[in-house]
Amino acid sequence: SHADASVGAPARRRALVRRPALNLAEGQLTHIERSPIDLALAVEQWRGYLAALADEGWDTIEVEPALHLPDSVFIEDAVILFGNLAVVASPGAPSRRGETVAAETAVRALGLPVHRLELPGTLDGGDVLKVGRTVYVGRSLRTNDAGIAQLREILAPAGYTVLAVPVTKVLHLKTAVTALPDGTVIGYPPLVDDPSVFPSFLPVPEPEGTAVVVLDDHTVLMSSAAPRSAQLFAAHGYRVVTVDISEFEKLEGCVTCLSVRVR
Ligand code: CIR
């Protein structure tokens, strides 16, 4: 017999990421005022985000960079995974439509079955919140009814229920709400249109505290800009990993949009 080095080592998981564009500072803004972006700092923060994922057992796979598509770093908007099913988005902002080509190539390279949403339907991945087999989709400035209907048709055979929810106060549904590992939906109440659509809702005290990436059943990744929300999650028994993503927050981005987790 021989020693097996993999025994006892937890399997590493994977996430898609995309390096920031050179013209990141020209990214879309809808609800906040433009403030100067430090590109070097943004790249450093992006590397810090990758390092935090790596420390937590996640390997990152780089989607081919799109150095002149300013919002391409927000890869979550371009492709959505449901188990091993991939859905290529139909970006609501014309400036972002070029982002899906390489995102599709990346999920095909993973060997996943791929579906594609088509215009006139629009849907951004940031509007999609999965909680078990329920998929909440924000009806927003980026995501329309036709996009939601296409997604519902794709997901029905896989046993997912798609529920459209209103989003008027923020860019994307996941700017307002995400979910803890146990399925509790969290959100900063002034930004949430209708918290009553979620069976279990926990208010957080800061706008940057609404976004968590579930790293495992006990651990979440979140912005360092929301320390009181981090304390709240710790009080609920979670281990919290924080990253500084200030340059991306200035562009209405958050921790979730910087990667697509392959589960
Ligand atoms: C945009 O307006 O499209 C980008 N500046 C921000 C996208 C953030 N993505 C997300 O919340 N999923």
What pLDDT band is residue 8 in, cutting at 50, 70 and 90? low
Token pair belonging to 31: 């609800």
- Going from the C-alpha of 193 to that of each of 50, 126, 145, 176, 252, the distances in angstroms are 32, 16, 17, 9, 18
Region 67-79: mean pLDDT is 98
| From 8-22, 67-81, 100-114, 202-216, the region with the lowest mean pLDDT | 8-22
Q: How far is residue 156's CA from residue 148's CA, in Å, rounded to a whole number?
A: 12
Q: What is the mean pLDDT of the chain?
A: 96
pTM beyond 0.90: the answer is yes
- Residue 1, pLDDT above cutoff 60: no
- Residue 192, pLDDT above cutoff 80: yes
Per-residue pLDDT tens digits for 21-37: 999 999 999 999 999 99
Per-residue pLDDT tens digits for 114-132: 999 999 999 999 999 999 9
pLDDT of residue 4: 54
- Residue 180, pLDDT above cutoff 70: yes
CA angle centred on 40, ends 34 and 42, rounded to 5°: 55
The minimum-distance atom of ligand 1 relative to the CA of 126 is 12
Residue 171 Cβ contacting ligand 1 at under 6 Å: yes
For residue 51, report the phi and psi dihedrals to the nearest 5 degrees.
-65, -40
3-state secondary structure 132-158: CCEEEEEECCCCCHHHHHHHHHHHHHH
Q: How far is residue 71's CA from residue 2's CA, in Å, rounded to a whole number?
A: 49
**Which of the listed residues 31, 32, 72, 74 should we mutate to test ligand 1's pocket, taking the one with most ligand atoms within 8 A of CB?**
74
**Per-residue DSSP letters for 12-78?**
PEEEEE-PPPTTGGG---SSS------HHHHHHHHHHHHHHHHHTTEEEEEPPP-TT-TTTT-GGGT
Can you list the positions of beta strands (E) in 188-248?
Answer: 201-203, 212-216, 219-223, 239-243
Share of the chain above pLDDT 70, in %: 96
Query: Could you tell me which residue, 1 or 103, shows the higher pLDDT?
Result: 103
In the chain, where the domains are located: 13-262
Please answer whether residues 151 and 162 qualify as being in contact, where contact means their C-beta atoms are separated by less than 8 angstroms: yes
Residue 93 Cβ contacting ligand 1 at under 6 Å: yes
- Residue 59, pLDDT above cutoff 60: yes
What pLDDT band is residue 9 in, cutting at 50, 70 and 90? low
- Give the CATH number of domain 13-262: 3.75.10.10
Residue 73 Cβ contacting ligand 1 at under 6 Å: no
Sequence length of the chain is: 263
Residue 115 appears among annotated catalytic residues? no
> Judging by beta carbons within 10 Å of its beta carbon (0-12, 13-18, 19+), is residue 206 exposed, middle or buried?
middle
pLDDT of residue 144: 98
Please answer whether residues 140 and 122 qualify as being in contact, where contact means their C-beta atoms are separated by less than 8 angstroms: no
| Spacing, Cα 79 to ligand 1 middle (Å) | 13
Per-residue pLDDT tens digits for 126-151: 999 999 999 999 999 999 999 999 99
